[in-house]
Structure 1
Amino acid sequence: MRRAFLSAFIGLALAGCAATSDAGRDITLWQGYADHPKGYLAPAAGFEALAFLPPPPQAGSLRAQNDVSVYRETRALEGYPRWAQAAADAEIVTPAAPRVFSEALGSPFDPQQTPALALLLGRLHADLEAVQASAKATYARSRPFVAEPANICIEAEPWLAQSGSYPSGHAAIGWAWALVLAELAPDRAEEILARGLAYGDSRVICGVHYVSDVEAGRLVGAALVARLKAEPEFQRDFGRARGELTTSNAKSSQ
């Protein structure tokens, strides 16, 4: 496992508030899936992970055996700080979810202060959900705790048990966020990328994904970022986020 990471609820005053920075005066933050912003890719774009993602390891293969072995070993982390961090990393849909990168960024991630950045990362998440859907449905891999019941770091809700394990959406978005943030803040790239890897590792530690699910997720995340660079709206929002982050960092250093 690479180096290390219960989710704090987002205050109601934070979610749904109008943005206050100059770059994001036209941005209203969302609260969850119901009002989540749409992605950058149009349905007609035809970009699907199933087209390039290899299938999960075959049952009985060395990779599959490693997946099961790591799942069993990481059950021993329950009660330790890394287990709690894995639970905290499960938050993914609110505007403040990328706050897990605050330490790596060297400053607090606050959607109210950087709404353009929050929107950029939020729209990227919407694209990820669409891009990975066909692969998850096609491979329909059972999650570790379903195949071999044991404690996991979050509540094992029915929808979670019924959803596909391969690829890991959290690992995909964590790595995609890391790649974007590392480009926005190159002086903090090493810390940001390490945190992006740890974000994916949290899914293995939690017991909701296998190692190979996480590896596949990172591939999807990287591919998505590469594809989005050809989208004018993404490039526009990336530029707004860069200026916003620069201004925010300058204010915090005063």
Structure 2
Amino acid sequence: MRTFAKALSLLLVVGLASPVFAEDAKPFSDAKEINLLDLLPPPPANDSAQTKAELGEILTIQVTRTPEMAARAVADSQENVWRFSDVIDNPKFTKENLPKFSAFFDRVVETEGAVVDPAKDVWKRPRPHLYSDLVKPIVSLSKSGSYPSGHTTVGTLMGVVLSNMVPEKRAAIMTRAWEYGHNRIVGGIHYASDIEAGRIVGMVIAETITTHDDYKTEYEGAKAELRAALGL
């Protein structure tokens, strides 16, 4: 856990202050460029004290979550930038009004799977409900490994990119991104260590793709379209 916290702090210091994609969406990076097997430690062992403690957290939330929390977790199963509509709080923040922005974020979202899925396939950490039949997920089940959380990765990644476009709302956007990841625990589909790893990976991806020329070009066009629509 200390390793995760240290890595997360370093990333913040250096400046990072089933989904549906467009048919031609191409990831900005992949596992060849960002090898998570080199970046992250393996997940906690199934019989470890940490996994048992994290299972306890899931079970506690399972009996204490409110209907509102449950509904929010279910809604956040969607992997798209429009889940940030509540913090952007502008009626023009829609796919129809923002075609360049929408196409750009299709690529951002696609990048998560290209980076994360190969590592999931190696580690194959069982989802909480596969480890304990006491866990009753309220979100869609997944056949992929639990570690790291892809949803949390993409939520963090989207949050970083979106907050760079709208720095006026950075704190609210990143708070929302953190909630997006935590809702995977609320939904009973991930452990806390999956979420922590996903946040780190999301920030690493966000930092890495800013060096790519195609990203820079599409980012500027999407940002200009968004800020114009929002009147910023």
Per the normalisation by structure 2, the TM-score is 0.84
Give 1:104's match in structure 2, choosing from 63, 67, 87: 87
1:197 Cα offset (Å): 0.1
Going from structure 1 to structure 2, the CA distance change for 1:34 and 1:195 (only over 3 Å counts) comes to closer
Give 1:50's match in structure 2, choosing from 37, 41, 44: 37
Aligned to 2:138: 153
1:62 Cα offset (Å): 4.0
Matched, 1:245 2:226: yes
Letter of the 2:82 counterpart: R
Deviations 1:6-62 (A, max 9, x none): xxxxxxxxxxxxxxxxxxxxxxxxx9358251112378x532222211111234444
User: Matched residue pairs, number?
Assistant: 212
RMSD after superposition:
2.0
Give 2:50's match in structure 1, choosing from 38, 51, 63: 63
1:79 Cα offset (Å): 5.6
Range with greater deviation from structure 2 (48-57 or 170-179): 48-57
Give 1:39's match in structure 2, choosing from 27, 30, 35: 27
1:171 Cα offset (Å): 0.2
8 Å CA contact 2:73–2:183 kept in 1: the answer is yes
Deviations 1:124-177 (A, max 9, x none): 111110111221011100000111123211244xxx1x3100000000000000
Deviations 1:49-90 (A, max 9, x none): 222111112344443232111111111146610111000000
Give 1:130's match in structure 2, choosing from 114, 119, 122: 114
Going from structure 1 to structure 2, the CA distance change for 1:205 and 1:194 (only over 3 Å counts) comes to same
Aligned to 1:17: none
Letter of the 2:192 counterpart: V
8 Å CA contact 2:129–2:137 kept in 1: the answer is yes
Q: 1:122 is paired with a residue of what secondary structure?
A: helix
* TM alignment of 1:1-254, pairs within 5 A: 32=20, 35=23, 37-41=25-29, 46-77=33-64, 80-92=67-79, 97-108=80-91, 109-149=93-133, 150-156=135-141, 160=142, 162-250=143-231
Letter of the 1:71 counterpart: I
Any unmatched runs of 5+ in structure 2? 1-18
8 Å CA contact 2:150–2:198 kept in 1: the answer is yes
Structure 2: how far apart are the matches of 1:231 and 1:136?
25
Q: 1:83 is paired with a residue of what secondary structure?
A: helix
Structure 2: how far apart are the matches of 1:34 and 1:192?
24
Going from structure 1 to structure 2, the CA distance change for 1:74 and 1:89 (only over 3 Å counts) comes to same
Going from structure 1 to structure 2, the CA distance change for 1:51 and 1:73 (only over 3 Å counts) comes to same
Structure 2: how far apart are the matches of 1:56 and 1:231?
30
8 Å CA contact 2:72–2:183 kept in 1: the answer is yes
Going from structure 1 to structure 2, the CA distance change for 1:178 and 1:155 (only over 3 Å counts) comes to closer
Aligned to 1:19: none
1:121 Cα offset (Å): 1.6
8 Å CA contact 1:106–1:188 kept in 2: the answer is no
Report which of the two has the higher share of helix: 2
Going from structure 1 to structure 2, the CA distance change for 1:216 and 1:60 (only over 3 Å counts) comes to same
